[in-house]
Amino acid sequence: MGFARRDRFPWQLRSRRLSLGERTLVMGIVNATPDSFSDGGHYDPVAHGQRLLDEGADILDVGGESTRPGGAGEVSGQEEQSRVLSVIEALTKAGAIVSVDTYRASTARLAIEAGAEIVNDVSGLLWDPEMSSTCRALGCGVVLMHTRGKPSEWATLPPMTEIVPTVVRELRQRIYESGIRREHLIVDPGFGFGKRGEENFTLMAGLDQLKELGLPIMVGASRKGFLGGEVRDREFATVAMHTAALLTGAHVIRAHDVKAALQGARVVDRILNGT
């Protein structure tokens, strides 16, 4: 039994359209935060974003608030915006396709005005009641992620039952309730976001069931805690997760190490394209 070729989709962003499926797209992570779990704010975000572009990133995802458990906690919208807007403007001028990682409608609106093309909302459009209508009005690309609860609640959430069917059902509900046109949407199963330990591997094993939604799939598993070990020692495990996701039908992978992600993705692309 061989691997099936990925479904092809046009993904409509704010001012351009991306073709998904022929090759993997890599979204490079640019943290404009002092408490990121991966880098802790130990670099200049604009310089880092430029480096990821040079390494081949297709999209840069700029975030101004860490959602890691045990992080510094929620920041104000004003603080988030002060961290990300100038970074987005600079990277857009450098030729990047930029995504803003935010759950706030106010930040999303200002980020798109600053040049971003995509809103990546880890809350699945749930934490700000104005986010769905804002994204509809902006006409941008939207990453709709599945999340259970908020970071402060994750340690006390009960175990999931019927993990994959639950994620598919709740994503389908969010897609319908958002009212966003389907060509603007891509779904993310939300590895680590309210899923504990082995639940993430069960979710990966059933990732092909997300195809029922009829939308492209993005996976963000880079360096996450369920992979085990110290953060900087998770890159090989990250590439393994990316490989599994791509062979199962994912179109976009979100990664800290763009070079490693691309090396793995290009091999998978050749397998899927039969070359």
Contacts for 76 with CB less than 8 Å, ≥ 6 apart: none
Q: For residue 76, give both structure tokens.
A: 């104000």
- Decide if pLDDT at 159 tops 60: yes
Most confident of 6-20, 61-75, 223-237: 6-20
Let me know if 254 is a catalytic residue: yes
Q: Are 8 and 20 in contact (CB under 8 A)?
A: yes
Which token pair is 114? 């600053």
Domains of the chain (ranges plus CATH)? 25-273 (3.20.20.20)
Q: What is the pLDDT of residues 174-200, one digit of tens each?
A: 999 999 999 999 999 999 999 988 999
Which residue in 6, 148, 224, 234 is the catalytic one? 224
> Residue 221 has which token pair?
């598993």
Residue 153 to residue 57: CA distance in whole angstroms: 33
Give the span between the Cα atoms of 27 and 219, in whole angstroms: 10
Q: How would residue 275 be classed by pLDDT, with cut points 50, 70 and 90? A: low
pLDDT above 90 covers a percentage of the chain that reads: 80
The pLDDT value given to residue 34:
77
pLDDT of residue 74: 77
Q: pLDDT tens digit string along 252-271?
A: 999 999 999 999 999 999 99
The string of pLDDT tens digits covering residues 41-75 is 567 999 999 999 999 999 999 999 987 655 445 78
Q: Picking from 74-83, 106-115, 127-136, which range would have the lowest pLDDT averaged per residue?
A: 74-83
Match 């351009």 to its residue by tokens.
16
* Catalytic member of 254, 259, 266, 270: 254
68 annotated active-site? no
> What is the model's pLDDT at position 111?
98
Res 224: pLDDT: 86
In this predicted structure, what is the pLDDT of residue 233? 84
Q: 3-state class of 196 per DSSP?
A: coil
Which pLDDT does position 227 carry in this prediction? 86
Q: Residue 120's pLDDT band (boundaries 50, 70, 90)? A: very high
Residue 61 confidence (pLDDT): 98
* Average of per-residue pLDDT values in the chain: 92
CA 52 → CA 26, 97, 219, 260, distances in Å?
10, 12, 18, 11
Cβ neighbours, 10 Å, residue 213: 16
Residue 202 pLDDT: 95
Tell me, what's the pLDDT at 72? 47
Q: Grade residue 37 by pLDDT with cuts at 50, 70 and 90.
A: very low
